[in-house]
Each structure stands twice: as C-alpha cells, then as structure tokens.
Homo-oligomer: A and B are copies of this chain.
Amino acid sequence: MLKAGPSQEEIRQHNLGTLLRHVHLGGPVSRTVLADRMGLNRSTIMALTAELTSAGLVREELPKETGRAGRPSLVVRPESDRVYVLAFDVAVDRLVAARVGLGGKILDRREAVRARAGADLDDVVEVLAGLARPIHREAAPDSVCVGVGAAYCGMIRPGDGMVRFGPNMGWVDQAFGAELGLRLGLGLPVSVGNEAHLGALAEHERGVGIGFANLVYLHGDVGVGGGIIVGGKLLDGDGGYGCELGHMIVNPYNGRPCGCGSRGCLEAEVGEQALFDAAGRASELVGHDGIRAVVDAADRGDLAAQNALDRIGDWLGIGVANLINLFNPGLVIFGGMLRDIYRGSAAQVHRRVAANGLVISREKVQLRTSALGNDVTLIGAAELAFSEILASPLEVLARTTS
C-alpha cells in the first residue's frame, strides 16, 4: 500500500554501475574487497561481476602473488583496451585529443599547438576531428567507444555543450558540442564541460582530492578558472555556470583590465600577463614556459622575479582566503599554470591566508598542487564521457554497440 522502493531491476542496474565505478576509479580489485566496499555479500558480487564480464566491461584474473594460503579471491580488472572514450581538451594554446580506456588509462594522445589569436569554431572542430581520426582508427577492431567528452576554457551550457562565453578565445554562443559531434560522425553526443570544473572532478576522483567532500580547485590557463566541490558534488548553480572564481574582484579600484570586461578580477591580477608585466618580461617566453622561466629565475635569486611572484602571490592569497572563508573546504588545489605560480609564491599565499582567512575556517585546510599535471582537464573530460556508462553499464553498452 505504501510507495515502493526501487525495483529489483533498478537495484541491479545501480549495483552494476557502482561495481564498475569501483573498478574504473580504483583499478584492479579483489571480489572480497568489492564485497566489503559495497556492503554486499560475495555471491552477489560474483553475479554482478559475471554480468559485467560477459558484457566485456571487466575481466577476472588470479592475482599474481597472494602470500597467503588458501584459494585467492579473483581480481576484477577493467577492460581498458576494449572499452574506451574519446576525450578532448581545448585550452587557450593547445588542442588535445585522446583515447582513454575504462579505468582511466590514456591509450593514445595527440596534441596540436596553435596560435592563440582568434581561432573560430570551424578551425577548432576541424583540428580536433583530425586528431581524433587516427586515434579512433587505430583502436582494436573489437573495441568500443562508449562516450565522448570535451573540456573547454569557457562557460558551457550543460546539455548541449554550447560555449556561451569563452573570452580568451573570443567565442560567444558557439555550438561547440553539437559541431564536434557532427564532425566526428560517430553517432555519439559530445558532453562538454568547463575545463576547471572538469579539472576539479578529475582531482576529486583521481588526484589529491580523493576523499575530500569540500574542495576548491583553481585552474590557471591564460585565465583563471575554478571548480568547487561542495558536499561531494560540483557546484553548478542555476545554469551550470558557477565556480567563476577567476572573476572574483580582488582589486576594485586599481585593478588590471580583465578579458571579461571588468577590472581587478583575480584572473587579471594573477594571470600570466600580470606576472610577466610585474617581472618585466613582456617580450620573452609566453604561456607555461614563460611562467616556469620566471619561477626558475626567482629560485636562482633573481630579485625582480621574486618580487613579481610575491606580488602575484599576494593577490592569489587574497583570493584563496576569500574562498576558504566562503567554502570552509578541506583542500585547496592549484592546477594548470597555477601549479608553478603557487610553487613560486607559496610563502606569500600562506601569509595572506593567515592574515585574511578566519582562523576557524582555515584551521584544517590544506593547500596542494594538482596531482594530475598537464592532463588534468583532459582526464576530467574523459571522466565526463564515462559518466553515462558508469550510471547504466549494460544499457549504454547495448546502445553504443548496436
């Protein structure tokens, strides 16, 4: 008479997805451990594993060494070479495409460096599709592509992957997801996410953020993006445009102009151009190489470089203090180019956090650099592409192989 809970079939689908997610994120794992982590008995795990095995999503093997007497528990592995996604990363100065196997293994990765100025939608989609073609062609004949994901350095409308605003590339309302899907011609939709959102998800699932329910990820490309995990979930806001911490005004009255049209945004004060201007290096290396050059010079005792990093670190620290006060996170992560900037300015950032962060808000917070390096956003795009099959493994597999 009362409302029923989920059906047996819904529970089975849910458990299949949960098991697959454990294997995908945690790597090879014994049935015993799976039973423990999922709170299910071993016969249930065996039945679930058998289904995923016959679908070709996982395989079971004897462990190499057990060091214990008795029959060892079989180890469940993801079928990384057989089940994959295509992942794309559109950063300001490079385009990347990759084939990423179930389990998160990058199987093939190709990159195109490009001029920064004004590439239009057609150019970008053409280059990405060109990178993807051999990647897809060289996949094993019995392998299956179960999703496509892309990270983009701008504000993305969820659902259709429309780039609403990409100031660093000059894009407004460009149908990136739809166009890339058409150009790839795989009959699969392309899921697109903001690069910093996806970086945050990647660090949360595979990087230094594992186990943190509340974290703030700051991503430095040319601009500064953010991905904020609140209660285990990405903060998306009403339209999916949340986390724009790079456009928090930190310097309202003497601020540098920002690509968004405002002034004194965190992005304007800690972005690469601010660093180069402060260091007096306007005409040398740009991008990541340029930033590393400044940080390395500071390490060698170059006073101008040290002063520039102190200045940038001061603004960065104000931004981080604000974020700590707002989010009371367990962890703040610096990714992309901010890894190097933080490396060169950590002392100043810490001073600002100590001065401007509330004692109680910051008492347990850790500040760390990204664990996933230059591919953090690419890995996030791959995770976005995997999210559907992890929710409904057999359904999605049936659809993509039909």
Residues of A within 8 A of B (CB): 1-6, 8, 11-12, 15, 38-40, 43-44, 47, 155, 164-165, 213-214, 226, 228, 230-231, 233, 235-245, 247-254, 260, 262, 318, 321-322, 325-330, 355-356, 358-361, 363-365
The smallest C-beta distance from A379 to any residue of chain B, in angstroms, reads 24
Which single residue of chain B is at the shortest CB-CB distance from A251? B252
Q: Which of B5, B165, B249, B325 touches A6 (beta carbons < 8 Å)?
A: B5
Q: A2-B11, A164-B360, A235-B327 are in contact. List 10 more A-B contacts (CB 8 A).
A: A1-B44, A3-B38, A5-B11, A214-B242, A230-B230, A231-B235, A238-B364, A242-B361, A249-B250, A249-B356
Q: Report which of B4, B11, B243, B254 forms a contact with A326, defined as CB distance below 8 A.
A: B243
**In the bound complex, do residue A12 and residue B8 qualify as a contact, i.e. CB atoms below 8 Å apart?**
no
A318 touching B235, Cβ below 8 Å? no
Of listed A1, A8, A355, residue having the most chain B CB within 10 A:
A1
Tell me if B3 and A40 are in contact (CB < 8 A): yes
Would A318 and B241 be within 8 Å (CB), given that A3-B40, A230-B235 are in contact?
Answer: no
Closest B residue, CB atoms, query A11? B2
Whether the pair B249, A322 counts as a contact (CB closer than 8 A) is yes
25 A-B contacts, Cβ less than 8 Å apart? A1-B47, A2-B44, A3-B15, A3-B38, A3-B40, A3-B44, A4-B5, A4-B11, A5-B5, A5-B6, A155-B360, A164-B360, A213-B238, A238-B364, A238-B365, A241-B360, A242-B326, A244-B328, A244-B358, A247-B356, A248-B248, A248-B322, A248-B325, A251-B252, A253-B254
CB pair B8 A328 closer than 8 Å: no
Copies of this protein chain in the complex = 2
A248-B322, A262-B355, A318-B252 are contacts. A360–B328 as well, Cβ < 8 Å?
A: no
Q: Can you name the residue of chain B whose Cβ is closest to the Cβ of A247?
A: B325
In the bound complex, what is the Cα–Cα distance between A365 and B242 (angstroms)? Answer: 12
Interface-centre pick from A43, A164, A247 (highest chain B CB count, 10 A): A247
> Which chain B residues lie closer than 8 Å to A3 at the CB level?
11, 15, 38-40, 44
Name A362's closest neighbour in chain B (CB-CB): B241
A44 → chain B closest CB, angstroms: 6
Q: Which residues of B contact A328 (CB under 8 A)?
A: 236-242, 244
Contacts of A318 in B (CB 8 A): 249, 252
Q: Are A2 and B12 in touch, CB under 8 angstroms?
A: yes
CB distance from A226 to the nearest CB of B (A): 8
* Residues of chain B within 8 A of A251, CB atoms compared: 252
Give A238 to B324 CA distance when docked, in angstroms.
11
In the complex, chain B residues whose CB is within 8 Å of the CB of A213 = 238
Nearest-CB distance from A15 to chain B (Å)?
6
In the bound complex, do residue A326 and residue B248 qualify as a contact, i.e. CB atoms below 8 Å apart? Answer: yes
Q: Indicate whether A364 sits within 8 Å of B239 (C-beta atoms), given known contacts A248-B325, A358-B165.
A: yes
Q: How far is the CA of A262 from the CA of B365 in the complex (A)?
A: 18
Residues of chain B lying within 8 A (CB to CB) of residue A321: 249
CB A14 to nearest CB in B, in angstroms, measures: 9
Give Cα A15–Cα B2 distance, bound, in whole angstroms.
Answer: 8
- In whole Å, how far is A201's beta carbon from the nearest beta carbon of chain B? 15
B165, B230, B252, B358: the one within 8 Å of A155 (CB): B358
